[in-house]
Chain A
Amino acid sequence: MREDEYRPMEIAYYPGCSLHASSELYDIQCKLVFNKLGLELKEIEDWNCCGATGASKTNEFLSIALPARNLGLADATGLPEIVIPCSSCYSRTLVSQKRLSSDATLKEAINAELGHKIKGQIKVSSILEVLRPKVDSGEIAGKVIKKLTGLKPACYYGCLLTRFPIDIDVPDNVENPQGMELVCNAIGAEPIDWSYKTDCCGASASVNDAEQSQLLMSRIFKDATARGANCLVTTCPLCQMNVDAYQDEVGEKYGIDKRMPVYFITELIGLSMGIDPVAMQVDRHFVDAMGLLKELNLI
């Protein structure tokens, strides 16, 4: 191979169930954007559900064992790092890896059932952990062909990017994370400062405890509106689904007039780098996400 021949760096990839279903657009965007950044996502073979909150609430063993099987598959790729865009999958996988690093008996019990044994050496990264060095190095800013001027996102992190049920070193400020703001600044957007960036949207409570989750979401919308945001941006498919699909209902119920598109961080990066919005399925949001971009002359 010639030295100057372009060769993307490979990174293992766990999409998780949402990105293969209702949030397929996020899967598509991740692949397109990472490709632009010279990273090839290698989806791990035959992955399973991480168990999410369902397992941790009902079955301690499975909450560790289900992500452990994926970790075994990820370790088998021989790659040094795996990126997990969904916050819940990321959190559960990291918790499983950390727990098994200090519980040899449990690790042995789980490994006994697995074709690909968990070794535990792969680095588990959120999407922001992969993007951050590329912001710091100027690589992202260098690839921007259209600055997202006028876009004022409220960066919404939700719970699981910075808070874990066990001791884990979080590579950002826990109460006031900045990773997404740094990405937004690098692509010319103007993120606002606000108070509800790490508050909970209710997650699956939107289905099984609607009143509770709608109350939580109303606080998020009220603050984002009051601080002058014109959109929300997130990295979590469950947060995205909730604050997008229920925004109308919550707005009507709590007297909030403003509706804001809820972007994934990937579609904003993609737009700034000239990726076609329709190819990224930006038109598949519940609150219209194309209108604001047209209004601001960004597409």
Chain B
Amino acid sequence: MTSSVLKYEASVSKPLVEEVMSRSGQNLQSCYQCRRCAAGCPVGEETGVTPDRLIRMVLVGDKEAALNNYLVWKCVACYTCGTRCPNNIQTARITETLKQMSKEAHLKPLAPRIADFHNAFMTSTRHLGRFNELETVAIYETKTMLKELAKVNLKAMFDEMMNQAKLGAAMTKKKRMHFDLDRVKNLSEIKALYKKSKGR
């Protein structure tokens, strides 16, 4: 965290708290830091930030830390935190809000692969109306590879290719790979919903 409760400024924290509360629909102010969420968080150990800490960042107005930490990116949306919270705060809704805010603020994702995957998923779904495993992986891998190529990280490129090739080979062998294009007929409705989602 870059700022702490010692530097607390109500005028700084208030707009952030209000925005996150209204967008996520969660009452962050009812958090009394019991940390039941932290105990159940499957990624807390690796992210170094647990749901209770994230709520605290927002409450003390530390926007930079709140929008830019590993929990926001690595949260697997398992909803354990919210299910166990005695005050019914769904922190997974808060990580979703903060991730969207981080995107709107054009912050570079801390976990670019996760960001690229979700974007690839949404691109493929807009294109066909249904999630296409091959198309999503193709878009995702292209982005990942180009980024590793820019960094001249050939080892990472090789590892990624090997992993996908291994899974692809196993899937083909077990006849789990499908090459037909399953798509929605009335795609104009899907496109209209995507269009409407912009600027909301």
- Residues of A participating in the B interface, judged by any CB pair closer than 8 Å: 17-18, 20-25, 46-49, 51-62, 65-66, 69, 109-110, 113-115, 159-160, 162-167, 174, 199-200, 202-205, 207-210, 212-213, 215-216, 245, 249, 281, 284-286
Whether the pair B133, A21 counts as a contact (CB closer than 8 A) is yes
Contact of A22 with B171 in the complex, beta carbons under 8 Å:
yes
A58-B113 contact in complex given A48-B129, A49-B129, C-beta closer than 8 Å:
no
Contact indicator A65/B42 (Cβ below 8 Å) = no
Are A65 and B197 interface neighbours, CB within 8 A?
A: yes
CB pair A69 B190 closer than 8 Å? yes
Q: Are A165 and B197 in contact (CB under 8 A)?
A: no
Q: A61-B200, A165-B79, A285-B174 are in contact. List 6 more A-B contacts (CB 8 A).
A: A17-B132, A17-B133, A48-B129, A54-B131, A115-B189, A174-B83
B182-A284 in contact (CB<8A) = no
Q: Is the CB of A49 within 8 A of B170?
A: no
Provide the bound-state CA to CA distance between A284 and B176, in Å: 7
Task: Quote the shortest CB–CB distance from A17 to chain B (angstroms).
Answer: 4
Give A25 to B129 CA distance when docked, in angstroms. 22
Q: Quick one: which of B170-200 are within 8 Å of A by CB?
A: 170-171, 174-178, 182, 184-186, 189-190, 192-194, 196-197, 200
Q: Which residues from 77 to 92 on chain B have a C-beta closer than 8 Å to any C-beta of chain A? A: 77-80, 82-83, 88, 90, 92
Neighbouring A residues of B78 by C-beta, 8 Å: 159, 163, 199-200
Q: B189 and A163: CB pair below 8 A?
A: no
B56 at the interface (CB under 8 A from A): no
What's the Cα separation between A292 and B166 when bound, in Å?
Answer: 25
Contact of A284 among B79, B129, B167, B175 (CB under 8 A): B175
A249: which B residues are within 8 A, CB to CB?
Answer: 166
Q: A22-B133, A24-B178, A51-B125 are in contact. Are A62 and B197 (CB under 8 A)?
A: yes
**For residue B119, which residues in chain A have a CB less than 8 angstroms away from its CB?**
58
Say yes or no for B49: interface residue by CB 8 A criterion.
Answer: no
- Choose from B77, B171, B192 the contact partner of A53 (Cβ within 8 Å): B77
The A-contacting residues of B in range 114-153, CB under 8 angstroms, are 114, 116-119, 121-122, 125, 129-133, 137, 140
Q: How far is the CA of A54 from the CA of B80 in the complex (A)?
A: 19
Q: Are B111 and A209 in contact (CB under 8 A)?
A: yes
Complex CA–CA separation, A48 to B187 (angstroms): 9
| B63 CB to nearest A CB, Å | 19
Establish whether residues A163 and B76, one from each chain, have CB atoms under 8 Å apart when the complex forms.
no
- Quick check: is B3 within 8 A (CB to CB) of the other chain? no
> Does chain A have a CB within 8 A of B52?
no
Say which residue of A61, A162, A286 sits within 8 Å of B196 (CB atoms): A61
Instruction: Report how far A66 CA is from B78 CA in the complex, Å.
Output: 20
Give min CB distance, B100 to chain A, whole Å: 7
- Pairs A–B under 8 Å by Cβ, sample size 25: A23-B176, A46-B186, A49-B131, A51-B125, A52-B121, A54-B121, A55-B122, A55-B125, A57-B118, A58-B100, A60-B97, A62-B194, A65-B193, A65-B197, A109-B196, A159-B77, A163-B78, A163-B80, A163-B83, A165-B79, A203-B77, A207-B137, A208-B113, A212-B76, A216-B76
- Asked, given contacts A57-B99, A286-B174, whether A113 binds B196 with beta carbons under 8 Å apart, the answer is yes
For residue B160, which residue of chain A has the nearest CB? A210
Q: Which of B23, B131, B186, B196 has the most CB of A within 10 A?
A: B131
Q: Which residues of A contact B133 (CB under 8 A)?
A: 17, 21-22
Which B residues lie within 8 Å of A58 (CB)? 99-100, 103, 118-119, 122
Q: How far is the CA of A237 from the CA of B80 in the complex (A)?
A: 20
Given A48-B129, A52-B121, A245-B167, check contact A202 B76 (CB 8 Å).
yes
In this complex, what residue of A is CB-closest to B173? A286
Bound Cα distance from A59 to B101, whole angstroms: 11
B42 in contact with A199 (CB, 8 Å): yes
The residue in A47, A48, A159, A204 that gathers the most chain B C-beta atoms within 10 A of its C-beta is: A48
- Minimum Cβ distance to chain A for residue B141 (Å): 9
Q: B164: shortest Cβ distance to chain A, in Å? A: 8
With known contacts A48-B130, A163-B79, A216-B42, A60–B193 Cβ distance under 8 A: no
The answer to whether A212 and B46 have CB atoms under 8 Å apart is yes
Chain A CB within 8 A of B43 CB: yes
A209 & B200 in contact (Cβ 8 Å cutoff): no
| Min CB–CB distance A282 → chain B (angstroms) | 11
Does the CB pair A54–B76 fall under 8 Å?
no
- Let me know if B193 and A113 touch, CB within 8 A: yes
